[in-house]
Chain A
């Protein structure tokens, strides 16, 4: 397509390109490969003084069943799903109407409201963790699903992103809907949301991935193992196993990363776009 965009191609024949990229790819995947390899080994083959990628005696069944027995991994995964989906659903409900108002409605105070949104984007979640912890402590909401979900229902970045998208929707579409007697509230959900599905999907992927992987706030807010999200769960598993039983530990780590990585393999392009171009904050 763009033969000249590839200034390197003259100097680097295809073979050299593949050699360099494959070597880098192997290095990148090394931690995954070693993790999965270890999860298949019996203890006797884990503590070896030689590199062995494939065990002589496969211990996959015992390691993975030990992982499920010693920690409620499915519970952790279910918590991850509940929390990330609840966050995303509430983010849409809370932030989409605000984004529409900022993009398409004329009212006094719009500039100020938008300036506040821009400021809120700048604030990293860790910076406000101390007062937020005290607030949830006061409300008696620590160590609950609400503690995991509520702080993220407001997404200044989501408002900004959707506002930018709504700005590009023609005013005619909105005016036509008004002529048809649809209320402003109805316009948000019946006119704007359908046009915004690609942007909402991208934001959804970004939101789900970042909250599935989030460690800081759940660590602060949660104590009870039955509320552990996947990162908390696998960290707790490791603290209990500390340095003794790597087979089940690596099995547990593999199980924890599997859902997102598998989802990614099925929809790479969407994930990459969602995370990179909405995650640029």
Chain B
């Protein structure tokens, strides 16, 4: 931006009509960017904060992952990819990554499937629609930490509702949060409970946008049963929405942390250790910042990958 263009730019803002009468080169620049100064001023606060709080920290986390920095240490040195090498050698890191992926692999299909099923059930009739919608949405709203504490008591080995129900049915009881085979699936069940209502709302919006005449056409072509109408009309037209819901659920469940921190601390014996929990303990309990940064970079890479796929899906949906 040249100095000469600035006053003209301001004039251009004040009197856009007179813009075309100017002939000089500076005015031509100003005509292409008549709002340079004011736009800069309007963008400045957001731009500086974004640099300081988002873009700078992203660069910092990448750099830090290449150092041996520890909070409180007087200095640090660049150690190349040693933190990453340490992670590759660390059984707990692989456990955390595996658990995170397993959690995603349970929560995504279950919360998407349940969300779709509930949306179809709600749309299949007219009465009490908004009541049902509200009920299934309450878990999305309710503070997850408080609900995790409620779940903890519900899952109490002796006096929890779930085990009381199991023993009333003559089934064996479990210490759900402290049995290695059950801890992660139990956390995943809480994740599904919390998330399916969100997916339901997205599916409801998708269902409403399916043109009615397609169902009429399908019926004329002999697709009379509910199942064949679903298979021939609803499912294909819901395809882009489904893809989108799957990716959003994957991104969200990849970020699982709250329930792990409150209910299991990654235990028993790392059975529910997840990526973000590892990053938290390394970074904020042991203050091994460099190593925590390396875990953060791995986490970021996965989330960025999922988000980029999501962005491509949205683009496709626009041209649908």
Contact = CB atoms under 8 A, between A and B. Distances in A.
A8 B130 contact: no
A97 B49 CA distance: 13
Contacts of A216: 257-258, 276, 280
A209 B53 CA distance: 21
B299 interface: yes
Nearest to A53: B161
B212 A2 contact: yes
Contacts, number: 322
B296 A130 contact: yes
Contacts of A71: none
Contact of B146 (A130, A231, A275): A231
Contacts of B130: 268-269
A218 to B, nearest CB: 10
Contacts of B141: 209, 260-261, 264, 271, 275
Interface in B88-132: 118, 120-128, 130, 132
A35 B236 CA distance: 41
Contacts of A35: 147, 150, 153
A70 interface: no
A225 to B, nearest CB: 15
B257 A97 contact: no
A127 B303 contact: yes
Does more than half of chain A's interface fall in helix, strand or loop, or is it mixed? helix
A184 B54 contact: no
A257 B143 CA distance: 6
Interface string A65-108: 00000000000000000000000000001110110111001111
Interface string B57-96: 1101100100000010000000000000000000000000
B50 interface: yes
A213 B137 contact: no
B320 interface: no
Contact of A46 (B43, B133, B159, B299): B159
B35 A4 contact: no
Interface in B233-276: 233-234, 244, 248, 251, 255, 257-258, 261-262, 276
Contacts of B142: 32, 257, 260-261
B228 to A, nearest CB: 8
A167 interface: no
A51 B35 contact: no
Closest 8 CB pairs of A and B: A7-B229, A128-B57, A131-B60, A8-B124, A98-B46, A105-B35, A231-B145, A35-B150
